[in-house]
């Protein structure tokens, strides 16, 4: 974990900042999370199979922020430098990509799966139930023994994350079988404003969280909105 100054934009004073990487950080989900973590004072590396594409994405994100806070790197370099690696790939590619990256993962690395297996049939979102029960469990079956997987941000729309002027104003439901890894992710998210992280239990809770996202997408369509997300009241 690297030492970092208070962030000049948001004023957050993250005394100890986590080095956050993104496996496939050039898509909408990676973009939103990279921006939010950079604003929260984390050290951010956007990874891509193509170093050039990663650098271009980082330059674009930095231009949005107005400061150089985000680096772009080829995935193996990103993996070497990150304490927490967000898997921000399309859900169907994520398990294989993680499996492919196994040899580049640092021992003890924390992986964060944000994917939701969803298909559209007749314009309606449906849960594409993986044989393992959830995409999180599907990915977990493909990571090295010393890596730990946490599910997070599954229920928060990528484009809301990417609209950095929109307060998140919701809860993040975080699941995983390693309490330590889960707490590290929750701690890394603590500096993101207007976001509360809740421990949603073991990794298998992703079966619920992934379905909740499908419901949110259906609600968006029905109510002609784009940002349906959840807050847990009474907790």
CB of 200 to its own copies, least distance (A): 6
Burial class (CB in 10 A: 0-12, 13-18, 19+), 124: exposed
What is the number of residues in the chain?
Answer: 235
> By the 8 A CB rule, do 191 and 124 touch?
no
Structure-token pair, residue 183: 């707490």
CB of 173 to its own copies, least distance (A): 8
CB of 229 to its own copies, least distance (A): 5
Q: How many CA atoms lie within 13 A of 171 on its CB side?
A: 15
Distance CA 179, CA 146 (A): 14
Residue nearer to its own copies on the CB measure, 141 or 208: 208
Residue nearer to its own copies on the CB measure, 4 or 216: 216
CB of 57 to its own copies, least distance (A): 26
Residue nearer to its own copies on the CB measure, 97 or 127: 127
CB of 128 to its own copies, least distance (A): 14
Q: How far out from the chain centre does Cα 109 lie?
A: 15
Q: How many CB atoms lie within 10 A of CB 168?
A: 22
Residue nearer to its own copies on the CB measure, 145 or 222: 222
Residues of this chain that interact with its own copies (CB under 8 A) are 127, 157, 160, 169-170, 173, 198-201, 205, 207-209, 211-212, 214-216, 218-220, 222-223, 225-235
CB of 97 to its own copies, least distance (A): 27
Distance CA 110, CA 89 (A): 16
Residue nearer to its own copies on the CB measure, 60 or 199: 199
Residue nearer to its own copies on the CB measure, 45 or 136: 136
| Bridge partners (DSSP) listed for residue 87 | 23, 113
| Bridge partners (DSSP) listed for residue 72 | 46
Q: How many CB atoms lie within 10 A of CB 63?
A: 10
Residue nearer to its own copies on the CB measure, 107 or 235: 235
CB of 151 to its own copies, least distance (A): 12
State the residue for tokens 């994350």: 161
């Amino acid at each position: 974990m690297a030492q970092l100054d208070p962030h000049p934009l948001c004023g957050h004073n993250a005394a100890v900042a986590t080095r956050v990487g993104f496996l496939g950080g050039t898509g909408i989900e990676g973009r939103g999370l990279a921006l939010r973590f950079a604003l929260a004072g984390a050290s951010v590396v956007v990874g891509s199979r193509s170093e050039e594409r990663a650098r271009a994405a980082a330059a674009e994100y930095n231009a949005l922020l107005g400061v150089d806070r985000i680096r772009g790197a080829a995935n193996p370099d990103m993996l070497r430098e990150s304490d927490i690696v967000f898997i921000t790939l399309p859900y169907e590619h994520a398990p294989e990509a993680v499996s492919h990256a196994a040899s580049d993962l640092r021992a003890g690395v924390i992986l964060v799966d944000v994917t939701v297996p969803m298909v559209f049939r007749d314009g309606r979102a449906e849960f594409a139930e993986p044989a393992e029960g959830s995409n999180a469990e599907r990915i977990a079956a493909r990571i090295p023994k010393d890596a730990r997987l946490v599910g997070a941000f599954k229920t928060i729309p990528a484009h809301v994350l990417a609209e950095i002027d929109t307060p998140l104003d919701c809860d993040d439901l975080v699941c995983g079988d390693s309490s330590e890894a889960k707490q590290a992710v929750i701690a890394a998210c603590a500096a993101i404003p207007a976001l509360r992280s809740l421990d949603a239990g073991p990794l298998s809770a992703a079966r619920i969280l992934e379905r909740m996202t499908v419901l949110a997408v259906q609600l968006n369509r029905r109510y002609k909105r784009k940002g349906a997300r959840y807050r847990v009241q009474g907790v």
